[in-house]
């Protein structure tokens, strides 16, 4: 496997950046996770636009144009002969000092990694996934905009650890108001009385690309979508529940904190949306 680092390709074992890079020292950088289907990166433009917005939010100047970045992603897929796979696109602030002074950092670094990724086993898509609510909350939006997809994912990581300790592969995160935000790496939806509900962006969530695709598909189905503050009780009493994300796609949720959601099986609308999403990726 070859990894792209700022204009050059390196073998996996030789793909390194400086220990003085602020991306390594402080998580000072941004990233996107994307999927390719049949050689085409799904919603590439939306991902690239979000990467640029994230970088702008952190005042990092990306040393490529958007078209050049898209070409670099496609070339990395081509050189690794990956048709259906996962792409991790990273931009760090670059090499600096051991201090926090960002203005001393020079030459932001671009890293593109492509690989085959299977986030969850097939049985979870067939039978559904269980969640546990993490004590670790989402970062307050007043501290850092959740729309900045930064390299610092510590609160998500700690919540993920809580999930594993509870015997679950994923965990639900609440915001500082006690409202439902999202899972550690995915957005969340519920279905109640044939209506789709999902937390709004001001709940402290990342506005996911797949989340928006699902909202668009629901509109095509004539299914109303409401973005509204949500509590755990809303999930407990929902008819269906699922998560969305670039790597996860759509995955059904059948339990939260040991409490069965709906009939304890992947719901009808969830499965319809998943089928329609797969059709969208094949376009």
Render pLDDT for 232-246 as a digit per residue (tens, 0 to 9): 999 999 999 999 999
Q: Which domain holds residue 37?
A: 2-115
CATH at 146: 3.20.10.10
Please identify, among 115, 134, 155, the residue that sits at the C-terminal boundary of a domain.
115
Calpha distance 153→90 (Å, rounded): 13
Tell me the mean pLDDT in the region 102-116.
95
Q: Is there a catalytic annotation at residue 283?
A: no
**Same domain (yes/no): 162, 216:** yes
Collapsed DSSP state (helix, strand, coil) of residue 259: strand
Query: In this structure, are residues 183 and 218 in contact, taking their beta carbons and an 8 Å threshold?
Result: no
**Same domain (yes/no): 204, 265:** yes
**Same domain (yes/no): 89, 155:** no
Residue from 12, 45, 56, 149 carrying the catalytic annotation: 149
Lowest mean pLDDT among 36-50, 108-122, 173-187: 108-122
Query: pLDDT-derived band of residue 255, with 50, 70 and 90 as boundaries?
Result: very high
Please identify, among 57, 92, 115, the residue that sits at the C-terminal boundary of a domain.
115
| Distances from the Cα of 242 to the Cα of 158, 181, 209, 249, 253, angstroms | 22, 13, 15, 10, 5
pLDDT at 195 over 80: yes
Task: Report if pTM > 0.85.
Answer: yes
**Same domain (yes/no): 194, 84:** no
The phi and psi torsions of 266 (rounded to 5 degrees) equal: -55, 130
pLDDT at 118 over 90: no
**Same domain (yes/no): 140, 85:** no
Q: What's 169's DSSP letter?
A: S
The phi and psi torsions of 169 (rounded to 5 degrees) equal: -90, -5
Calpha distance 253→127 (Å, rounded): 9
**Same domain (yes/no): 194, 128:** yes
Domain count, the chain: 2
Calpha distance 206→150 (Å, rounded): 11
β 195-198/225-227 pair status: parallel
**Same domain (yes/no): 149, 53:** no
Please identify, among 91, 115, 139, the residue that sits at the C-terminal boundary of a domain.
115
């Amino acid at each position: 496997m070859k990894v792209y680092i700022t204009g050059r390709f390196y073998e996996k074992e030789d793909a390194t950046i400086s220990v003085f890079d602020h991306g390594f020292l402080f998580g000072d950088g941004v990233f996107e996770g994307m999927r390719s289907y049949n050689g085409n990166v799904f919603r590439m433009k939306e991902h690239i636009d979000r990467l640029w917005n994230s970088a702008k939010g952190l005042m990092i100047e990306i040393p490529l144009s958007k078209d050049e970045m898209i070409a670099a992603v496609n070339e990395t897929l081509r050189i690794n002969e990956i048709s259906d796979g996962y792409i991790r696109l990273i931009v760090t602030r670059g090499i600096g000092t051991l201090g926090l002074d960002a203005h001393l950092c020079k030459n932001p670094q671009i890293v593109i990694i492509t690989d085959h990724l299977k986030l969850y086993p097939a049985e979870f898509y067939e039978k559904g996934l269980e969640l546990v609510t993490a004590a670790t909350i989402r970062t307050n939006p007043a501290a850092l905009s959740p729309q900045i997809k930064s390299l610092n994912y510590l609160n998500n990581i700690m919540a993920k650890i809580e999930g594993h300790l509870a015997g679950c592969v994923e965990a639900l995160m609440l915001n500082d108001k006690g409202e439902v935000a999202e899972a550690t790496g995915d957005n969340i939806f519920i279905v109640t009385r044939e209506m789709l509900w999902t937390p709004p962006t001001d709940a402290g969530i990342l506005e996911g690309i797949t989340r928006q695709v699902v909202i668009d598909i629901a509109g095509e189905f004539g299914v109303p979508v409401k973005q509204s503050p949500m509590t755990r009780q809303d999930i407990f009493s929902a008819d269906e529940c699922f998560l969305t994300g670039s790597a996860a796609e759509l995955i059904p949720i059948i339990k939260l904190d040991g409490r069965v959601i709906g009939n304890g099986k992947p719901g009808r609308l969830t499965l319809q949306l998943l089928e329609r999403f797969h059709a969208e990726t094949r376009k």
